[in-house]
Structure 1
Amino acid sequence: MIVVVNDNGRSYAPTVGALARHLAALRQGGSEPLGRNVFTDLGFFYAGPVDGHDVQALEAVLRRVRALGRPVVVHVITVKGKGYGPAERDEADCLHAVGTFDPATGQAPPALATAPPSWTAVFGQALAQLAAERTDVVAVTASMLRPTGLHPMAVKFPDRVFDVGIAEQHAVTCAAGLAMGGLHPVVAIYATFLNRAFDQVLMDVALHHLPVTFVLDRAGITGPDGPSHHGMWDLGLLGTVPGLRIAAPRDADCLRALLREAAGITSGPTVLRFPKGQAGPGIAALAHIDGLDILHCSAHRPLDVLLVPVGPLAKDALDAAHLLEERGLGVTVADPRWVLPISPALTTLAARHRIAVTVEDGVRTSGAGAALAQACRDAAVATPVTSLGLPRAFIPHGPRGTLLAQAGLDAEGIARSIRHAVAARSADCVAFTSDSGRT
């Protein structure tokens, strides 16, 4: 077996830690006495360092080690973005994944002054502000300082932001240790990548009731990144963790408020999830009931439908409510803010409606909707719950709006599903009454 270590001093960002320093020493031709290094100690023959941009030299080394008939590591030195100046100079990793940019300069078009900030930017500024107020707040990243919004805090408080490299499991266990030491760690990770560290969340953090806040960027449908990056599993996975609370902000102001609430919880772990993209306009609450935000309530209509959106899907839920009102249905739209575990206030509110409908950009078979249905059964609430969400499938790449619409999670799709659910409920009631009459 021939293992090629493609070493450009970076992973997503510059590599950190003891192994990174060891590779840097090997790049300079250094090694332990008698030619030892980490690879030879593991039983490999070590060949290198080799210039990965010298094709002839690289081919010669590969042919030579193939003839050895034993496990070999070929240490290949490359330059990230070799041959394209803007990429070679890209210290901020802006060209790791790109949208539209000018090939001559490598620069993306300037953002419009009127464009709303991204969810990531809002979080980054809010966390930096919180860290300025509380010296116990620290942050942990798995080699994704800028993509997860931790750069503003790192600039202001570099000794309180820890990059553990691409090792989400270690990031979570490290945070557990920091929490045991009296700090409040904020672990910022893409939602899809927290899957790798589920056991650490469960056994290292939740089991010990540690105050760690997980901030999951790119939750739900991420769009062009494709099935490996859709953060659609977090609600289903994390909803099974005892003592863990999950929040989903619907707008930027809600994100700031929920981050503060999460950082103030000392009895166990918390999660804050938000999608990729712009945060969008604020959505004001009409009323607050036991932690729930009531966003809409049909005037002078029966309480037909309780509509419960998760996070930024509140906008489409409100649009769907207006479409349903045009059909004569009365709709209440309630944002739980803290999505899981289910608030008793939400089951009480569900009991006052004919049906309850949840809308989430996670797998619908194991997320917030399934949890609300179970909570209603446990509380002897007879209101049926319809769960709208993503199918249990690997979803391809595409624009976020398009993929949500294909899953029936835009306003028209939500309204259509609710009309069908109401019709089915009415048919069941008619059948039940007819059968009772014959009896």
Structure 2
Amino acid sequence: MKNLLDNISTPQDLRKLNPAQLPQVAKELREFIIDIIATKEGHLGASLGVVELTIAIHYLFDTPNDLLIWDVGHQAYGHKILTGRKDVFHTNRQFGGVAGFPSRKESKFDAFGVGHSSTSISAALGMAIASNLKGATEKHHIAVIGDASIASGMAFEALNHAGVSKANLLIVLNDNAIGIDPSVGALKEYLTKVKTDKRLAAQNNIIKALNFDYSGPIDGHNLPKLLSELERLKSVKGPKFLHIITTKGKGLQKAEEDQVTYHAPGKFDKISGERIPKEENLFTKYQDVFGKTIVELAKQNEKIVAITPAMLTGSSLKLMLQEFPKRTFDVGIAEQHAVTLAAGMATQGLIPFCTIYSTFLQRAFDQVIHDVALQNLPVVFCLDRAGLVGEDGATHHGVFDLAYLRIIPNLIIFAPRNEIELRNILYTAQLGLKNPIAIRYPRGKGTIHNWQQTLQKIEIGKGICLQKGNKTAVLSIGTIAKNVSDALELIEDSSSFSHYDMRFVKPLDEQLLHTIFEKHQTIITVEDGVIKGGFGSSILEFAAKNNSPHQIKSLGIPDEFIEHGAIEKLQHKIGLDANSLANLFEFFS
């Protein structure tokens, strides 16, 4: 049989086919995605689950004139392949290649840039209102959102507004009962009941109560049914809601059976689906250092509880859930709620470890200020994926945390240099701190084999000297210390350099800083966060306050959004790899 996908580069090509040919396109599109991701890696299960929906939308709607928005964007690979990026899709998530998420600068078919959840309905409603104001009342606006994302507060806020609008808005709920981990909460239970009780869908319906024209649930893998229902909805005025049932990982048995792992499985055999083991690496991921340590601490301290917004597996809180299910809380994609829930627990004497990816804590900035820091509640924020995260790119780099947290009164900020330091600060945090603390650590593996050493208390606000010199002092924060140490080893004579791990961005070790400024002519700060407002800025503020005449050079993430790619390549591009640092340091030797 002729390969239909070979002749499809745009939705216009797709629309030349007759409906009976579309199931064959779906089969080929799945095979294409599997073939590429098997060797290049990426987000697999979500895109496989919406192949039929992707085809149906682009076949029936006049994209890109009609606007299509994918919530989060994990599921948009089929969309990218059908919209002009098939020939370059093999560069997906690679440095200089196609982004792993929809991006407005990449294609006119990507109506809205995404990466974080629950934004699609708000964005699509904004576009629909704009179309009404411009008189483009026939223009369609489609938001595709999953059952995990629609439970987020932002999505509910948008639904509440959209229901009283006259917007030509279609929301497609892609219901597969899983985000990255299985969906949780009362709404998930409601959606499960709707699938099995047609009377509930017809009568006691939450979406209908919000003034939407609700249809479904229907089989999201049944292309004729999808086409029929979407065609009907095109003629319905006002806000519409289509509930479809899909299977994450559809078409690859292993991905259907293990949906958590095959969300982003790494390399795998494209025929059997069996994952290909990575080269043996005896070092431990920082998330696992955290996960194992919190279990160890929770066994000794019954006041410890753990909270995560839908990242049980990614943050390794699965380990805590297995040992202490009643003290571990997955609150769904609800970062704001997670932070204030932790604050409430802290008022009652519990010790909440609120574990959130750095990039997602941005979404709860006000809660950190208003609900935690203002009341000086001893919540322990554990910020996974801090710094550059690699292939996920600009939406996921955790580079802003030091800058936006540093301005908040009462908040302690610590960045461990290695696994042992992470363990020790977690231990310290549950010994009765009187302040909230943010502990940020990177994605990926550490550098120490025997990190499970006897736990020791860390003195708050104290840095340490790693190397003594007499001319230039390099001040680093967090795991970027490894690049600094490697850089100094590359310099033929590094005896003039001191290297200090400051450990705390707040409170700064001012006693140590006075000593550093007295003994050195030049100060260089190095961080894997944004330069503007970050750790380096705190050192400049210290220097200004003390009328320092020193030359101070700040190194970090420049004032721009950093693209996707391997961390090593990104660090080289912005001058934070060991070789680049060594070249710069030599100017100050």
Please report the TM-score for the alignment, with normalisation by the length of structure 2. 0.67
Counterpart in the other structure of 2:166: none
Q: Contact between 2:462 and 2:508, CA under 8 Å: does it hold in 1?
A: no
Counterpart in the other structure of 2:441: 274
Structure 2 residue aligned with 1:6, among 151, 174, 199? 174
Per the TM alignment, residue 30 of structure 1 is displaced from its structure 2 partner at its CA by: 4.4
Structure 1 residue aligned with 2:510, among 338, 344, 368? 344
Per-residue deviation, residues 108-164 of structure 1 (Å, max 9, x unmatched)? 334566521111111111111011111111110111101011111111001111011
- Confirm or deny that 1:60 pairs with 2:228: yes
Per the TM alignment, residue 39 of structure 1 is displaced from its structure 2 partner at its CA by: 0.5
Deviates most, 404-413 or 97-106: 97-106
> 1:212 & 1:154 partners in 2: Cα distance?
19
> 1:265 & 1:306 partners in 2: Cα distance?
34
> 2:494 & 2:221 partners in 1: Cα distance?
69
- Confirm or deny that 1:246 pairs with 2:380: no
Counterpart in the other structure of 2:252: 84
Counterpart in the other structure of 1:434: none
> 1:345 & 1:194 partners in 2: Cα distance?
31
Alignment of 1:59-138 (within 5 A): 59-91=227-259, 93-110=260-277, 115-138=282-305
Per the TM alignment, residue 398 of structure 1 is displaced from its structure 2 partner at its CA by: 1.2
- In structure 1, list runs of 5 or more residues that go unmatched: 424-439
**Secondary structure of 1:123 counterpart:** helix
Please report the TM-score for the alignment, with normalisation by the length of structure 1. 0.89
Per the TM alignment, residue 266 of structure 1 is displaced from its structure 2 partner at its CA by: 2.6
Per the TM alignment, residue 201 of structure 1 is displaced from its structure 2 partner at its CA by: 0.7
- Confirm or deny that 1:49 pairs with 2:217: yes
Q: Contact between 2:406 and 2:505, CA under 8 Å: does it hold in 1?
A: no
Letter in 1 for 2:180: Y
Letter in 2 for 1:133: Q
Cα distance change on mapping 1:413 and 1:33 into 2, 3 Å: closer
Give the count of matched residue pairs.
Answer: 413
Cα distance change on mapping 1:63 and 1:314 into 2, 3 Å: same
- Confirm or deny that 1:228 pairs with 2:395: yes
> 2:279 & 2:439 partners in 1: Cα distance?
28
Counterpart in the other structure of 2:431: 264
> 1:328 & 1:88 partners in 2: Cα distance?
55
> 2:266 & 2:289 partners in 1: Cα distance?
21
Q: Contact between 1:49 and 1:77, CA under 8 Å: does it hold in 2?
A: yes
Structure 1 residue aligned with 2:463, among 284, 292, 302? 292
Counterpart in the other structure of 2:524: 357
> 1:419 & 1:63 partners in 2: Cα distance?
67
Cα distance change on mapping 1:322 and 1:84 into 2, 3 Å: closer
- In structure 2, list runs of 5 or more residues that go unmatched: 1-168, 452-457
> 2:410 & 2:584 partners in 1: Cα distance?
33
Structure 2 residue aligned with 1:145, among 312, 333, 358? 312
> 2:567 & 2:335 partners in 1: Cα distance?
26
Letter in 1 for 2:211: G
> 2:226 & 2:296 partners in 1: Cα distance?
50
> 2:582 & 2:537 partners in 1: Cα distance?
20
Cα distance change on mapping 1:378 and 1:282 into 2, 3 Å: farther
Per-residue deviation, residues 23-44 of structure 1 (Å, max 9, x unmatched)? 1111113455971311111111
> 1:108 & 1:363 partners in 2: Cα distance?
36
Cα root mean square deviation, aligned: 2.2
> 1:328 & 1:43 partners in 2: Cα distance?
70
Counterpart in the other structure of 1:431: none
> 2:217 & 2:584 partners in 1: Cα distance?
60
Per-residue deviation, residues 377-411 of structure 1 (Å, max 9, x unmatched)? 22333333211001111111111112112211122
Letter in 2 for 1:317: V
> 2:183 & 2:562 partners in 1: Cα distance?
31
**Secondary structure of 2:442 counterpart:** coil
> 2:343 & 2:273 partners in 1: Cα distance?
40
> 2:431 & 2:541 partners in 1: Cα distance?
28
> 1:69 & 1:61 partners in 2: Cα distance?
14
> 1:81 & 1:258 partners in 2: Cα distance?
39
Structure 2 residue aligned with 1:17, among 185, 190, 196? 185
**Secondary structure of 1:375 counterpart:** helix
